[in-house]
Structure 1
Amino acid sequence: METKKSTKWKLLALAAMLTTGTASAADQGNSQISQYYTGAAPLNAEAGEIVYDDVDYSSEQENLASSMYDDAQALQPVAFVGDHQVGSGVPTPAPIMDDSYVVTEGAGCSTGDCGSSYEMASSCGSACGGSCGKCRKRPVRGMMKKHDMWVTAEALLWFTQARSTPALITQNTAGADPELDVPGTSVLFGGDEAIGGDMTAGFRIDIGRDLSDDFGVGGRFWWLSESSEDASSGGIVNGNAQSIGRPFFDTNIGSDNSVLIASTGVPGNDDFEGSYTAESSLDIYAAEAYARMKMLSGSGFRSDLIGGFSHFGIDDTLTVRSTSIQTTNALGGNIGDRTDIFDQIETENRFYGGQIGFDTSITRGKWTLKSLTKVHLGNMEQIYRGIGSRTFDDGGGAVTSTDGGVLALGNTYNTTDLDEDKFTFAPEANIKLAYQFRPNVSMSVGYSFIYWDDVLLSGDNINNVYNGDGITFPAAPLVQPVSERKDSSLYTHGIDLGCVIDF
């Protein structure tokens, strides 16, 4: 009993002196004093939190402590700044370990130094003879580190809103005119059948750094691969099976008309063979720079205020080509006369503005539920670019080209008359569930939605109303009434599959 009482007093003296030494070092300006931990970090310890020695010197380890610290009066105050020991005379307290102390009996001490992974619990000289004391496993030195940077990489599987356009390619049975107002005419591309809307792949990357516990900065970039839809005749086709044409509204007759691509026996027309291709594509990307500030926090809960700069790019391109080759000359022209018509309409939308919103996370064990809601406000620069051309070859070597196709009148690439700037907003929402399968790596699955209220799309700004006499050989100028710009809305949404790395 007397031995146990003496040992407890020595341990109390040791604890008091260690505390005094630590406080003394702090008073001398050592603001980075680090406490060490002798076992596994507690489950509820947060990154950067100070944790303390939890060695239990009672019961089995009493004799071990007694043998290590025989004279409490000889102990010197000690503190640690980083890995630097202030004071002397006391063995280095154990740091954070990968696992707790492993204590073995004398049988493991036959070599005198307990092997490379162990050290003697008491001094036994050059050899312990296999029975002079206990061994303890050397811990791996390491400090609790705070993760202040993050990298998030996500694969995007998104669906973009389908886009509308007038009927661009039509067909009817052989011998019937493929005009929109003729019974039996169907649309091969455009019209009531919307373009796009299929799943598009992309990626998103988010990189940032916490400057303090309450404030951080970051940047985000995401991009969707080209969303496209096309139709093609697959080469030169004749009109024996069906009539194919490019529809327009003819101001000369005040009704629908069409440029024949392939036809046989259509009343009032010679026969033609030809080909067509039509394609619509949409590209979207975004770049952001933001700051985040903690607003609310609690046990496993945090909500940050987000604010920063936003930039979006939305490009919509529509291209149609057609070739018509005359195969009869009963009504005029020559066999072999060829007409090539090309139309391309591009719209560019460039958003520059700010963003504000909230980023909230709830953590339970290894699971984290995150939500991001924000709105982008700013200027949308809208640019229209259209080019149309007709090329006529009379089969005898005479080739004539002129501006103006069926969809685009002339060349507007070098003008800015149709460009406008609009104030617009774009709400965005994201929710994801993440699982932490390693200390600094998480995998996530989520859903994202973003909507732009004012964009310029090519299909909505097609003007196919003009005088049909112009599309003849020899070339004649096209006359087209002025059309109004039409603004539209656009959204995209879908699934996110991601990986988050903190370091």
Structure 2
Amino acid sequence: MKTNLRLVGACLALLLLTATQVPAQEVRQAMADTFDVLRQATWWNDWDGSFNEAPAEDNWCGEDGCGCCNECKPIDAWAQLEYLMWWGKGSFTPALVTTSSQADAGVLGRPTTQILFGNETLGDEIQSGVRLNAGVWLDASHNVGLGVRTFGLEGDSANFFATSTGDPVLARPYFNALILDEDARAVALTGVAEGSIRAGYNSSFGGTDVYTRIMMERCRINRVDLVGGYSYFRLADTLAVRSITTARDVVNDGTVFDVRDNFSTSNVFHGGMLGLTGSKARGRWSLDWLTKVSLGSSSQRVRISGSTVTTPLAGVPTTSQSGFLAQPSNIGVYEQNQFVVIPELTANVNYHMNSNWSVGIGYNLIWMSSAATAGPQIDRSIDTLQIIPRPAFNFNTDDYWVMGMNFSLKAEY
């Protein structure tokens, strides 16, 4: 209690000295006093050498060598469950829905045109997830172990819906490949059409490691292991747009056009993993860390599909296998394999309640050197008559990352 009060007092004194702009020498002295209190704080340094007072430390590894770990952890296993709050780089998506004055008809670049959906990065919001890391030691001294580490995120999503009888304007903007200028297809425009438009995006990300860990360096408060094995990752996302338009012009009055576009991608990685993991302990506190890199092949797949159902006012519906952004010139399934590098960094600070259970908080970063996401696969240049083969398809890939906080509960037996 006295130490805690001293710590609070030193911190307050430091803030007061700084606020009143006292001489630098006195500020340095106040900082030295603060760090001296930190070094003596009970939560970090005050223990009597018994196992109960220092459960984070390897009390079965002293100057005479390491071993006999099964005297305190007889099952020779570990399991760690983590709640994840991560966010990713996301997928940049072009403008998909616009509004404007009647005269500007939703065409991009005109004075009153506003973008309602798109021209933004989708899939970059915080996502919840779970990660499980479990394994067994193959020897009583806990020098060699086998483990499995798997995680999954719930995914991010974005949705849009709007309907109109013509005012306000709803339009689907594009670059007209025939006239080489911006254009728009009316979904709702007074005297031309009325209707609704819906757009949605969702993503998912997960992975698994199967690994061996081998002790490289070990003492009572420090341990470093070599880790190596197999890695699997899967990143996928989908972007879909649907517009239902009822024509109000003289030629097609009453005809309903149900137009759908769908862009989906998946990146499936298989490869080898090599890295280092370790821990630094003191009393009831420890710092666990992992740094590794996975090298291997990623199977990248893009699927583009579309359809248009045309229902005359008094007639039979007809269906064509092309939408608006998805035309015969780009519809299909496209695949390629890429060599990909995936580094990962994890660090957790843990509080050990006893020799078997601990809770922690940490940070994680995963980076992929190449990934295909849905937004960049959209070609805005369109010839609806298909005289010119646009939209076209080209694999558009970029790096991708996820990062965020981890909250863990760990058991070691």
Kindly report which structure 2 residues correspond to 1:465-484, keeping only aligned pairs within 5 A, or say none.
465-469=381-385, 479-480=389-390, 482-484=392-394
Structure 1 residue runs without a partner (length 5+): 1-39, 51-142, 265-269, 471-476
CA offset at residue 468 of structure 1?
Answer: 3.3
CA offset at residue 399 of structure 1?
Answer: 1.7
Contact 2:277 2:289 in 1 (8 A): yes
How far apart, CA to CA, are the structure 1 residues paired with 2:51 and 2:193? 83
- What TM-score does the superposition give when structure 2 sets the normalisation length? 0.80
User: Alignment partner for residue 369 of structure 1, among 280, 287, 302?
Assistant: 287
CA offset at residue 222 of structure 1?
Answer: 0.1
- Which residue of structure 2 aligns with residue 190 of structure 1? 118
Contact 1:47 1:146 in 2 (8 A): no
- Which residue of structure 2 aligns with residue 327 of structure 1? 248
User: Alignment partner for residue 381 of structure 1, among 284, 299, 302?
Assistant: 299
Residue identity in the other structure for 1:433: V
Residue identity in the other structure for 2:292: K
Residue identity in the other structure for 1:304: D
Note closer, same or farther for the CA distance 1:41–1:291 as it changes in structure 2 (3 Å cut): closer
How far apart, CA to CA, are the structure 1 residues paired with 2:61 and 2:283? 18
Residue identity in the other structure for 1:185: T
Kindly report which structure 2 residues correspond to 1:441-460, keeping only aligned pairs within 5 A, or say none.
441-460=357-376
Kindly report which structure 2 residues correspond to 1:344-355, keeping only aligned pairs within 5 A, or say none.
344-355=262-273
In the alignment, structure 1 residue 432 sits paired with structure 2 residue 322: no
- Which residue of structure 2 aligns with residue 218 of structure 1? 147
Note closer, same or farther for the CA distance 1:335–1:41 as it changes in structure 2 (3 Å cut): closer
CA offset at residue 464 of structure 1?
Answer: 3.0
- Which residue of structure 2 aligns with residue 252 of structure 1? 178
Kindly report which structure 2 residues correspond to 1:28-177, keeping only aligned pairs within 5 A, or say none.
144-146=72-74, 148-177=76-105
CA offset at residue 412 of structure 1?
Answer: 7.9
- Which residue of structure 2 aligns with residue 303 of structure 1? 224
CA offset at residue 175 of structure 1?
Answer: 3.8
Residue identity in the other structure for 1:488: D
CA offset at residue 145 of structure 1?
Answer: 4.5
- Which residue of structure 2 aligns with residue 207 of structure 1? 134
- Which residue of structure 1 aligns with residue 36 of structure 2? none
Kindly report which structure 2 residues correspond to 1:407-422, keeping only aligned pairs within 5 A, or say none.
407-410=325-328, 418-422=334-338
- Which residue of structure 2 aligns with residue 74 of structure 1? none
Contact 1:386 1:410 in 2 (8 A): no
Note closer, same or farther for the CA distance 1:412–1:334 as it changes in structure 2 (3 Å cut): closer
Note closer, same or farther for the CA distance 1:41–1:328 as it changes in structure 2 (3 Å cut): closer
Note closer, same or farther for the CA distance 1:323–1:478 as it changes in structure 2 (3 Å cut): farther
CA offset at residue 180 of structure 1?
Answer: 1.1
**CA distances 1:279-314 after superposition (whole Å, capped 9, x unpaired):** 111100101100001111123000111101000011
In the alignment, structure 1 residue 396 sits paired with structure 2 residue 317: no
- Which residue of structure 1 aligns with residue 31 of structure 2? none
Contact 2:329 2:391 in 1 (8 A): no
- Which residue of structure 2 aligns with residue 128 of structure 1? none
- Which residue of structure 2 aligns with residue 243 of structure 1? 169
- Which residue of structure 2 aligns with residue 491 of structure 1? 401
**CA distances 1:63-100 after superposition (whole Å, capped 9, x unpaired):** xxxxxxxxxxxxxxxxxxxxxxxxxxxxxxxxxxxxxx
Kindly report which structure 2 residues correspond to 1:336-351, keeping only aligned pairs within 5 A, or say none.
336-351=254-269
Residue identity in the other structure for 2:346: N
Q: Percent identity?
A: 28
Note closer, same or farther for the CA distance 1:381–1:260 as it changes in structure 2 (3 Å cut): same
Note closer, same or farther for the CA distance 1:46–1:305 as it changes in structure 2 (3 Å cut): closer
CA offset at residue 254 of structure 1?
Answer: 1.7
How far apart, CA to CA, are the structure 2 residues paired with 1:170 and 1:315? 27
How far apart, CA to CA, are the structure 1 residues paired with 2:307 and 2:193? 20
- Which residue of structure 2 aligns with residue 228 of structure 1? 157
Note closer, same or farther for the CA distance 1:237–1:295 as it changes in structure 2 (3 Å cut): same
- Which residue of structure 1 aligns with residue 206 of structure 2? 285
Contact 1:311 1:351 in 2 (8 A): yes
Radius of gyration: which is bigger? Answer: 1
Residue identity in the other structure for 1:263: L
Residue identity in the other structure for 1:310: S
Contact 1:345 1:458 in 2 (8 A): yes
- Which residue of structure 2 aligns with residue 29 of structure 1? none
How far apart, CA to CA, are the structure 2 residues paired with 1:391 and 1:291? 55
Q: For 2:376, what is the secondary structure of its paired residue? A: helix
**CA distances 1:322-347 after superposition (whole Å, capped 9, x unpaired):** 01112342xxx232111111000111
Q: For 2:411, what is the secondary structure of its paired residue? A: strand
Note closer, same or farther for the CA distance 1:246–1:46 as it changes in structure 2 (3 Å cut): closer
Contact 2:258 2:308 in 1 (8 A): yes
CA offset at residue 147 of structure 1?
Answer: 5.3
CA offset at residue 480 of structure 1?
Answer: 2.0
Residue identity in the other structure for 1:230: N
CA offset at residue 390 of structure 1?
Answer: 1.3
Q: How many residues in Structure 1 have an aligned counterpart in Structure 2?
A: 353
Residue identity in the other structure for 2:319: S
Residue identity in the other structure for 1:502: E
CA offset at residue 320 of structure 1?
Answer: 0.4
Structure 2 residue runs without a partner (length 5+): 1-49, 63-70
